[in-house]
Structure 1
Amino acid sequence: MQQKVFANGEKASDFLAEYIVEKINAFNPTPSRPFVIGLPTGSSPEKVYLNLVGYYKAGKISFENVVSFNMDEYLGLPPTDHQSYHYFMHHHLFDHINMKPENINILDGLAADPAAECARYEAKIKSYGGIQLFLGGLGPEGHIAFNEAGSSRDSLTRKVTLAPSTLEANSRFFDNDPNKVPKFALSVGISTVLDNSEEVVIIVIGKPKQFALQKTTSGPVGSKFPCTFLQTHPNVLIVADSSAANKIKSFL
């Protein structure tokens, strides 16, 4: 597990955006051989997406032959809802770059049959032969995507029940009212990420993520803290700011 620490979140995001651009350009994707990337939502990747848009507008990257798979989506929110992850991704990234609509993959939160939607999504990821780079973040309690405590290492894309701590953490987007946060979501599984990705890159920003980062790097591997399963992948890069990495021995 490689680790890079920066003085602040802005510098960490700058590095990570440049890193992604270099990876895509080195891959030299084509229509028949696209670069496949996994993408998260949340506050941590926002500056990364802003920088990626900047690189595109500067002519330093094309996303024409990039295929994306987002990690999760709230169940029951339409794509037009400002708190849906469809809306987030289009607002922060997709509407500003040249990705083809057919190459953008986000779980359907309005699916009539959530189980069928999850099976379809899992199969589509595998149809590409996997993911070149999976970008993710950490929940304060150590979850990856919406893989809450108790998620197994072999979990696949599925409907999940959000933990009270997740509802509380995400309530800031719902008038600070946890009761307004959807109680269910569709999420890729831990196996979906770790068994289909050549490289996993995790961005960790801010002091509230110290606990999750400590578990990720040195906690015993197990379902209590799903982030610990990252230790089982052979190619993981942790990009953190000093606030998140402070007091963690492996980062000092």
Structure 2
Amino acid sequence: MEVVILHDPAAIAAVAADAIEDLVRRKPHAVLGLATGSSPLGVYDELARRHHTGSLSFAGVHGFALDEYVGLPVGHPESYREVIRREFTDRIDIHPDNVHGPDGAADDIPAACAAFEETIREAGGVDLQLLGVGTDGHIGFNEPGSSLASRTRIKSLIDQTRKDNARFFDSIDEVPHHVVTQGLGTIMDARHVVLIATGAQKARAVRDFVEGPVAAICAASVLQMHPHTTVLIDEAAASGLKLADYYRHTYANKPDWQGI
């Protein structure tokens, strides 16, 4: 796990976008894992800007969303399919048929989850998975206590997650209680994971999953076992890290050719 501490969200977005641009240029048919929430929005803005001002094309790329609410009607503005479309895929040249997500409206959700896993496999697996992290350390919607080997499945949200997400709805009463999410085992199959966290409210989660034990109580801690995880954080999110100076030194002296 590489921890990179940067001065502001714009710098974080630029570094993450650099990694995605480099991947897509090397592999035009790359498979991206797409997260929602506030953390990746700057990255999507930067990639859209590069697409419109340069030669960066996503025409051959496939994208797979991390998760989806259960029970929202198709087309609901806060469904994650709509969020990803609005915030990213409608702003680039990716083909709509190449954007996939878990089906929270399926009549048979377990069958839909299995089909989603198969679609990822058929696409060749995720090359780069973009992630945020919840204040309790969840990634995707893998809440505390999730199996570290879990696959795409239905999950119940804890109260804190519903409270955190209520800002996207008119009230907490509108936030669904259930979601479909890629499992931790599914996320761990990605070849490169890039996790973004900013702000003091994420400092405890960052400390726990970077320097704490690998444990189901902090789902993101499983990334300590991933062969290629990059954690991009600002100074506020890094404020609880014991080895923050070491992470700064390591990144400042990193060879230019190495990338992230």
Same fold per TM (> 0.5)? yes
CA contact (8 A) 2:131 2:139 kept: yes
2:252 match: none
1:189 match: 183
- Read off the aligned partner of 1:199 and give its amino acid letter: H
TM-score (norm 2): 0.91
1:156 match: 151
CA contact (8 A) 1:213 1:245 kept: yes
How many angstroms apart in 2 are the aligned matches of 1:19 and 1:183? 34
1:11 match: 11
2:21 match: 21
- Read off the aligned partner of 1:230 and give its amino acid letter: L
1:198-234 CA deviation, whole Å, 9 max, x = no partner?
A: 1111011111111111111111111111111000111
- Read off the aligned partner of 1:93 and give its amino acid letter: F
Aligned residues: 245
Q: Which runs of 5+ in 1 are unaligned?
A: none
Pairing 1:196-215 to 2, within 5 Å after superposition:
196-215=189-208
1:67-121 CA deviation, whole Å, 9 max, x = no partner?
A: 1100000001134211111111111111111101111001122111111111100
Aligned with 2:230 (options 216, 237, 252) = 237
1:125-166 CA deviation, whole Å, 9 max, x = no partner?
A: 112231111111101100010000110111000010001110
1:130 match: 125
How many angstroms apart in 2 are the aligned matches of 1:246 and 1:22? 30
How many percent identity over aligned positions?
Answer: 36
How many angstroms apart in 1 are the aligned matches of 2:164 and 2:93? 33
2:33 aligned with 1:38, yes or no? yes
1:169-190 CA deviation, whole Å, 9 max, x = no partner?
A: 1111122x32221000000000
- Deviation, 1:18, is 2.1
Say which SS state the counterpart of residue 239 (structure 1) adopts.
strand
2:43 aligned with 1:51, yes or no? no
- Read off the aligned partner of 1:92 and give its amino acid letter: E
- Read off the aligned partner of 1:17 and give its amino acid letter: A
How many angstroms apart in 2 are the aligned matches of 1:26 and 1:250? 33
- Read off the aligned partner of 1:20 and give its amino acid letter: I
How many angstroms apart in 2 are the aligned matches of 1:129 and 1:94? 20
**Larger displacement relative to structure 2 (9-18 or 206-215):** 9-18
CA contact (8 A) 1:79 1:85 kept: no
How many angstroms apart in 1 are the aligned matches of 2:244 and 2:201? 16
2:167 match: 172
How many angstroms apart in 2 are the aligned matches of 1:3 and 1:149? 22
How many angstroms apart in 2 are the aligned matches of 1:7 and 1:22? 22
- Deviation, 1:61, is 0.9
How many angstroms apart in 2 are the aligned matches of 1:251 and 1:9? 18
How many angstroms apart in 1 are the aligned matches of 2:124 and 2:88? 24
CA contact (8 A) 1:8 1:243 kept: no
- Read off the aligned partner of 2:152 and give its amino acid letter: T
Say which SS state the counterpart of residue 244 (structure 1) adopts.
coil
TM-score (norm 1): 0.94
- Deviation, 1:58, is 1.3
Q: What's the RMSD between the two structures over aligned residues?
A: 1.1
